[in-house]
Amino acid sequence: MADSSFDVVSKVDRQEADNALNQARKEIEQRYDFKNTGASIAWSGDSIVITANSEDRVAAVLDVFQSKLIKRGISLKSLDSGETAQSGKEYKLSSTLKEGIDQEHAKKIGKLIRDEAPKTVKSQVQGDELRVTSKSRDDLQETIALLKKADLDLDLQFINFR
């Protein structure tokens, strides 16, 4: 019998993220507490830039954006926000959406699989994803359950289960 496998990836649906950003922008434009505060949220290349006239307003805009991401099914683990910086009279916050599994996290996930998953399960790093193989599909499902309950600061998806 051939080996079964699945891939562990960390991806963000760009269209859903864009929809969440547009919904947040519309809500900010319409809400009374954001009037005349210069509050805005927009894409700047691959990052998201939030601007407002006070640090509290920037945090409030970020909160609105996070709620829209959650409603769209995007985990907050994939949002990487920096520190609020003041430039002139404005405060800015730059955030990015994390995609892919970096080497450090791949090693951590591989070690977790080696230590706690069934012994027939093997993992292998392939670029920014992880391929997990085993002869038993039940062992692979146990491994998926193990990774779901593991406390990793990544939003993991499991694809190509064969």
Topology given in CATH for the domain delimited by 4-11+101-159: Alpha-Beta Plaits (3.30.70)
CATH assignment of 14-97? 3.30.70.990
SS3 content of the chain, % helix, strand, coil (to 5): 40, 30, 30
pLDDT (0 to 100) of residue 1: 53
- Cα torsion 143, 145, 149, 151: sign: positive
Using the 8-state DSSP alphabet, how is residue 53 labeled? S
Q: Do domains 4-11+101-159 and 14-97 have the same CATH topology?
A: yes
Is pLDDT at 93 greater than 60 in this prediction?
Answer: yes
Average pLDDT, rounded, for the chain: 89
Q: How are beta strands 129-134 and 4-9 bridged, if at all?
A: antiparallel
Domain ranges of the chain: 4-11+101-159, 14-97
Quote the pTM value: 0.84
Closest CA to 125 of 136, 116, 114: 114
Apex 62 CA angle, 58 and 66, nearest 5: 175
Is pLDDT at 2 greater than 80 in this prediction?
Answer: no
37-92 residue pLDDT tens:
889 999 998 899 999 998 999 999 999 999 999 999 999 988 988 888 888 889 99
Q: Residue 138 has which token pair?
A: 């039940």
What span, in angstroms and rounded, lies between the C-alpha atoms of 160 and 48?
Answer: 30
Q: How far is CA 73 from the centre of its chain?
A: 10
